[in-house]
A and B are shown apart, each in its own frame.
Chain A
């Protein structure tokens, strides 16, 4: 059996580990347009922050490819798939045959059209190791940095470079920071915390025009000057390889619960796909590393003839800024329970006897107990909800259930 994987991040690694659970001998080939050993993309901000280095941020040990019998084409780009002859064609003309193919091509930064952007020389996106290296070269202690986008990527970038530059301004069209994961109150708490580090926020505004290489004017008429620009407004899934050969694509590549695309023997995983968010009953792109790994693993096991389903996808994020932690999961449409306590904030959202979402800021201890209630669609009437509201604890479950989980009773 010949397995070919396009991509070299979490989805790809999950696929290799999934295949090897079932098939120890099949040939596995990984193709990646990046020249690096598999590394963790979300760690690029920690790299600039000084909490990791290029060696430690490798997602798997140096021996990973050898241990798993993986042949690699690194620094080569897959330009097309020949589905009839089951081949992947690379940018140097190499053709690689597959029996089973995984597309784990990820996403790319979305840079919206902005008037005069071509005048700006020092402009960066923040997604790959090369992006981080380029940004690192461009900044120094005297830099004024303008970050467009107050989402997860933009703000992690801010944390990464904060102590290494003179000033950072963050601008977002939205009225609040982290709008995809936080409500108004939670967002304000986090913004105030980041502001303590001297970061300036301009919200509800956007760049109308870049007037020179170092200046911009906003829609609200503010004049901004900067040395370095970071654009982090969002990402777009890399769906083209599958779309070009007629595969079904919605917001992302469409897959079933075994991670198969609409084309025979082609699978997809990670940020390039859309998944069913079970807390909102709708297809969404859940571009998150844990989900990518689990999709990749499901694809790998399925490709190798095993049985595995990926059917518990939920949005979930653990993120922190300067030691202040945030964990969120699910969706926020339902009945709310809110508790504020100093710097800590908790919101639980329930609907139809289920926990469907939560926000924890500050005290995030044991949050996974909440995540599990969402993921397993646990009826709240079957647990002691008053105890669960107080804090995540196994005390809220029945004695019998604890006898199973903690006592080893079958």
Chain B
């Protein structure tokens, strides 16, 4: 299965992946309109310390502890992609307790969100990958 991989040596720490993620999941077709005057809440997040930076998003684990731990049945695996049914989620945070990479977080309405590889928005290649100016984030089969 194709997954998102990051190469921290090439990460510039520019945070563009975060903005592209927020745009892709905004439901709007214009990036400026989608992001103007808002605090973004992206599903991919940059970690930074000293001169190191890298992006972190859902690993789509083969042994997904978030799915196994989900108390409502909102998280499920479909063709290897871990997705969330936000209509079923009650925001109990058990997936936050379980995810070893810290990749599930609440959306602005208090239910959980996570990277779904842009399968539920415009589709095709994940937007964070498209938006990375230095190819530090790739979408590949390995």
Contacts and interface: CB of A to CB of B under 8 A. Distances in A.
Interface of A: 10, 14, 40, 42-43, 46, 51-52, 56-61, 289-290, 293-294, 297, 316-320, 323, 325, 327, 329, 364-369, 371-372, 387, 392-395, 399, 402-403, 405-408
Nearest to B105: A365
A371 B101 CA distance: 10
Given A40-B73, A52-B90, A320-B92, A371 B97 contact: yes
A43 B71 contact: yes
A46 B90 contact: yes
Contacts of A325: 93
A59 B73 contact: yes
A46 to B, nearest CB: 4
Contacts of A387: 49
Contacts of B99: 366, 368
A316 B141 CA distance: 34
Contact of B7 (A289, A369, A407): A407
Contacts of A406: 5-6, 8, 54-56, 59
Interface of B: 3, 5-8, 47-49, 52, 54-56, 59, 65-66, 68-69, 71-73, 87-88, 90-102, 104-105, 110, 140, 142
Given A323-B110, A393-B47, A40 B100 contact: no
B60 to A, nearest CB: 11
A328 B73 CA distance: 21
A386 to B, nearest CB: 11
B59 to A, nearest CB: 7
A405 B101 contact: yes
A395 B66 CA distance: 21
A320 B106 CA distance: 13
Interface centre among B56, B59, B88, B97 (most CB of A within 10 A): B97
Given A289-B71, A327-B96, 16 more contacts: A40-B73, A43-B72, A51-B90, A290-B71, A320-B93, A365-B105, A366-B96, A366-B99, A367-B93, A368-B102, A372-B100, A393-B102, A394-B47, A395-B47, A399-B52, A402-B54
B47 to A, nearest CB: 5
B68 A367 contact: no
B56 A394 contact: yes
A30 B39 CA distance: 48
A190 to B, nearest CB: 14
A317 B71 CA distance: 11
A293 B54 CA distance: 33
Nearest to B61: A405
Nearest to B69: A290
B102 A394 contact: yes
A320 B97 CA distance: 12
B128 to A, nearest CB: 13
A19 B117 CA distance: 29
Contacts of A293: 68-69
B92 A42 contact: yes
Given A394-B56, A406-B6, A408-B5, A319 B92 contact: yes
Contacts of B69: 289-290, 293
Given A56-B87, A371-B98, A318 B92 contact: yes
A292 to B, nearest CB: 10
Contact of A368 (B8, B72, B97, B140): B97
B73 to A, nearest CB: 4
B8 A402 contact: yes
Given A40-B73, A393-B47, A318 B97 contact: yes
| For the complex of A and B, 6 pairs with smallest distance between CB atoms | A366-B102, A290-B69, A372-B100, A368-B99, A318-B93, A408-B5
B58 to A, nearest CB: 11
Contacts of A405: 59, 101
A378 to B, nearest CB: 10
Contacts of B88: 52, 56-57
Given A40-B73, A293-B68, A368 B96 contact: yes
A325 B106 CA distance: 12
Nearest to B102: A366
A10 B70 CA distance: 10
A371 B66 CA distance: 12
Contact of B98 (A59, A368, A392, A407): A368
Contacts of B91: 51, 320
Given A40-B71, A42-B92, A60-B73, A407 B5 contact: yes
Contacts of B92: 42, 46, 318-320
A407 to B, nearest CB: 6
A367 B8 CA distance: 23
